Amino acid sequence: MIFACEKNLLLEAVNTVSRAVLPKATSPVMEGILVECYVEGRMKLIAYDLSLGIETEVPAEVTKGGTFVVNAKMFGDILRAMDNEKVSFKMDEHLNLTVSCGAAQFVIGCIDAAGFPILPMIQQDKYIEIKEDMLASMLRQTLFAVSENNATPILQGTQFRVNNGSLELVATNQYKLAIRKEPYLYDGDPFRFVVPGKTVTELTRMLRGDHNDDMVRISLADRQIVFEIGSTVVISRLLEGDFLDYERILPTSFATVATVKIDGLKRAMERASILLNNEKIRIPVRFSFEFDSIITSCRSSTGNTLTDQIKAAIDGPNLEIGFNNKYILEILAACECEEIMIGLNKPNTLMKVTPTEGDRFIFMLSPMHLK
């Protein structure tokens, strides 16, 4: 088996598929990447942890084709250590792989490809296509609300809802709720599915979000979902169960509405975090909505205090309410705009955050009890 490949292209592919490698697996083959070389001049890399599978292709000069499994971490480390040149590979009959680049030469042991788990064959039932930058934005603006609580497995993912006229992503941990909508033309029957948070996290790292009009194809199969991103394919299991019926808890009107610039509120929460982030128990930040300002204050367990004031346009009666500073910062980071509208009713009811125009995103947050 003899082949060669540009170092940077191969390293990018190794980094991509390594996201589906089990770092501390009980079997060495599960810590590896399956490499398949074809004489047509292409090379396929595959990783699969039995839940998430990623495969991608890179161009290669293949003199003699074949397959093998190589330890993902070692392979990546070797490529990073090589000069930015073409890397040559030669495999002997004992599965020893010689890796050469310039004057440097590694010889490493590999594993027979026969022991590598086979990616599931997907019978695609339904599919949609969406611009890569739009999908990246939608995932970023909902990922922060995905639950990490094993007690509610279905909430450890993001729900995709495909309707006639809209695509909607929803995530919640029952304290935070994130809804992200986009107009979408779809003529088939509405459907929905829940993608695990780990898969969503890896997708956000892979997707290019800056004005990228390339299309991502999302195909639904029985208990599996497939994302096709250029030459890369991501296959993931789906979460099963009944997702939270969030629509019934969305308030339709508010007594107090505030319009505020994100930057000022974010800076206030960053200052509050200096006192609160190292606390062993959760301490709320007090928000007082008064006239033309939001006054924030907090007191640490050691007696240190902070009072801050942010200019805002407020319509409705004064209101005092408490929130987790970390959750507020997560919401502000996900807004991806300069100004937001905050809707409130009572100190013990949900806060709603939206853009100043439209409802492209909706973030809901449960308050904390104030003493």
pLDDT band at 25 (very low <50, low <70, confident <90, very high): confident
For 371, counting Cβ atoms within 10 Å of its Cβ (0-12 exposed, 13-18 middle, 19+ buried), the class is exposed
Query: Is pLDDT of 295 > 90?
Result: yes
CATH number of 2-115, picked from 3.20.20.70, 3.10.150.10, 3.60.21.10, 3.40.50.300: 3.10.150.10
When pLDDT is averaged across residues 34-42 and rounded to a whole number, the result is 92
Does residue 210 carry a pLDDT above 90? no
How confident is residue 212, by pLDDT bands cut at 50, 70 and 90? confident
Torsion angle in degrees (nearest 10) through CA of 351, 352, 353, 355: -150
Neighbours of 210 (CB within 10 A): 7
CATH code linked to domain 250-365: 3.10.150.10
pLDDT digits (tens, 9 = 90+) for 103-137: 999 999 999 999 999 988 777 778 999 999 999 99
- Mean pLDDT of the 86-99 span: 96
Average confidence score pLDDT of the chain: 94
Establish whether domains 126-247 and 250-365 are of one fold.
Answer: yes
Q: What is the pLDDT of residue 255?
A: 97
Domain boundaries, the chain: 2-115, 126-247, 250-365
Average pLDDT over residues 316-337: 97
Grade residue 313 by pLDDT with cuts at 50, 70 and 90.
Answer: very high
Question: So what's the pLDDT on residue 371?
Answer: 81
Kind of pairing between the strands at 256-261 and 339-344: antiparallel
Whether 85 shows a pLDDT value over 90: the answer reads no
Tens-place pLDDT, residues 151-201: 899 999 999 999 988 999 999 999 999 999 999 988 888 999 999 999 999
pLDDT given at position 333: 97
Residue among 65, 78, 74, 97 nearest 21 (CA): 74
Contacts of 252 by beta carbon, 8 Å cutoff, 6+ apart = none
221 has pLDDT over 90: no
Question: With 90 as the cut, is the pLDDT of residue 252 above it?
Answer: no
- Residue 205 pLDDT exceeds 90: yes
Q: State the CB neighbour count (10 A cutoff) for residue 315.
A: 11
The secondary structure of 248-303, three-state, reads HHCCCCCCEEEEEEHHHHHHHHHHHHHHHCCCCCCCCEEEEEECCEEEEEEECCCC
Task: Give me the CATH code for the 126-247 domain, please.
Answer: 3.10.150.10
Look at residue 337 and tell me whether its pLDDT is greater than 90: yes
Neighbours of 81 (CB within 10 A): 11
